[in-house]
């Protein structure tokens, strides 16, 4: 049974109130002209288990996927699982089921060089200026990072705003999206591993 989370932080929270969205609008990197937030919901614990936490067979990162565009002995990159409004969005995850806080040292040691290679691979897509990395670990226990390609000149896409733009921009045509995935996969494979598209 869930109950309200309790800590000095939680006791300060205005549960049930609708907070001002002004900080999201006034920020120089914001892509919003106005924002209306939902009322702050109660923060309940224990939280529901994430995918793969109770049953590893529920972990999408552990299963073979038609969306894997590149892999090596330690890591894989999945992309193309949803329409892309920006030139590229994909996930990077270790093949072995682990969380960031318990990942084997050899997995962690290979992460930095692979992030560098993935950044270069995404920037090889024509029209991409930067590769953004993000980590939202609420959907799956399996450690994974997101890589997003920010279009050149799209200054409204700086920072966390790029993920919002991916959701609202018109989806790329299928042939262009497939070409972008091939660019990333072949660039990664040039440094090792196997391109699967």
Higher pLDDT, 117 or 161: 117
Reported confidence tier of residue 86, pLDDT bands at 50, 70, 90: very high
Q: Using alpha carbons only, give the angle 159, 172, 77 rounded to the nearest 5 degrees.
A: 65
23-32 own/partner pairs: CB under 8 Å, 24+ apart = 29/158, 29/159, 29/160, 29/161, 30/161, 31/156, 31/157, 31/161, 31/164, 31/165
pLDDT digits (tens, 9 = 90+) for 113-134: 999 999 999 999 999 999 999 9
Give pLDDT, residue 145: 98
DSSP one-letter string for 92-127: EEESS---GGG--HHHHHHHHHHHHHHHHHHHTSTT
Report the first-to-last Cα separation within the chain, whole angstroms. Answer: 46
Angle at 119 between CA 91 and CA 190, to 5 degrees: 95
The backbone torsions φ and ψ at residue 108, rounded to the nearest 5 degrees and listed phi first, read -65, -40
At the second CATH level, the architecture of 56-195 is 2-Layer Sandwich (3.30)
Domain spans of the chain, in order of start = 1-47, 56-195
pLDDT at 137: 74
More confident residue, 49 or 144: 144
| Average pLDDT score, the chain | 95
How far is CA 10 from each of CA 2, 42, 63, 161, 193, rounded to the nearest angstrom? Answer: 15, 9, 37, 27, 46
For residue 104, give every residue at least 6 positions away whose Cβ sits within 8 Å of its Cβ, in sequence order, or none: 96, 98
How many other CB atoms are there within 10 angstroms of residue 172's CB atom? Answer: 17
Taking only the tens place, the pLDDT of each residue in 10-61 is 999 999 999 999 988 888 788 888 999 999 999 999 998 888 888 888 898 9
Query: How much is the pLDDT for 138?
Result: 81
Residues 63-88: what's their mean pLDDT?
A: 97
* Structure token digits, residue 64: 């073979």
């Amino acid at each position: 049974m869930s109950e309200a989370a309790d800590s000095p932080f939680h006791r300060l929270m205005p549960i049930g109130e609708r907070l001002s969205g002004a900080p999201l609008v006034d920020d120089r990197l914001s892509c919003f002209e106005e924002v209306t937030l939902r009322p702050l919901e109660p923060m309940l614990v224990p939280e529901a288990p994430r995918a793969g936490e109770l049953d590893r067979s529920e972990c999408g990162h552990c299963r073979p996927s038609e969306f894997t565009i590149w892999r090596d002995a330690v890591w894989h990159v999945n992309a193309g699982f949803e329409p892309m409004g920006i030139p590229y969005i994909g996930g990077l995850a270790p093949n072995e089921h682990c969380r960031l806080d318990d990942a084997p040292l050899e997995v962690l040691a290979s992460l930095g060089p692979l992030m560098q290679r993935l950044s270069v691979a995404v920037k090889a897509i024509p029209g991409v200026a930067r590769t953004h990395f993000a980590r939202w670990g609420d959907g799956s226990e399996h450690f994974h990072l997101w890589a997003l390609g920010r279009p050149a000149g799209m200054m409204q896409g700086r920072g966390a705003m790029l993920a919002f733009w991916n959701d609202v921009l018109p989806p790329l045509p299928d042939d262009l999206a497939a070409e972008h995935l091939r660019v990333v996969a072949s660039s990664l494979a040039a440094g090792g591993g196997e391109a699967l598209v």
